[in-house]
Amino acid sequence: DQQVKQNSPSLSVQEGRISILNCDYTNSMFDYFLWYKKYPAEGPTFLISISSIKDKNEDGRFTVFLNKSAKHLSLHIVPSQPGDSAVYFCAASEWETSGSRLTFGEGTQLTVNP
């Protein structure tokens, strides 16, 4: 039962353009969502998060959008840089009850071409 799904295994964009990574979830009890970035041979690193009471959160080049009715969130990276090339994981939590126990999607490999 895959409660968090990232349907695009890979995405390739040109440097300077926008990268949009998508994530869908099925568990309506999820109330907190996070994006992590992972380079090879390293653990995932936290990028940005959003609470279910918001529909947008911005941090520099990274913006996360949440559409609760569609159970969909997306991560926008503008402008994309070659150093952004990594695997991006969407994660969700029933934060109020379970805290930081996370359910992850399968990941999307982002490649930013110079």
Partner 1 sequence: ETGVTQSPTHLIKTRGQQVTLRCSSQSGHNTVSWYQQALGQGPQFIFQYYREEENGRGNFPPRFSGLQFPNYSSELNVNALELDDSALYLCASSSGTYNEQFFGPGTRLTVL
**Binding residues vs partner 1 (CB under 8 A):** 4, 6, 36, 41-46, 89, 91, 95, 98-107
Residue by residue, DSSP assigns 31-57 as: -EEEEEEE-TTS--EEEEEEETT-SEE
Quick one: 44 or 77, whose CB is closer to partner 1? 44
> Minimum distance between the CB of residue 60 and partner 1, rounded to whole angstroms?
17
Quick one: 33 or 95, whose CB is closer to partner 1? 95
> Minimum distance between the CB of residue 26 and partner 1, rounded to whole angstroms?
15
- Go through the chain and tell me how many residues it has: 114
Whole-angstrom distance, CA of residue 102 vs CA of residue 32: 9
Quick one: 41 or 70, whose CB is closer to partner 1? 41
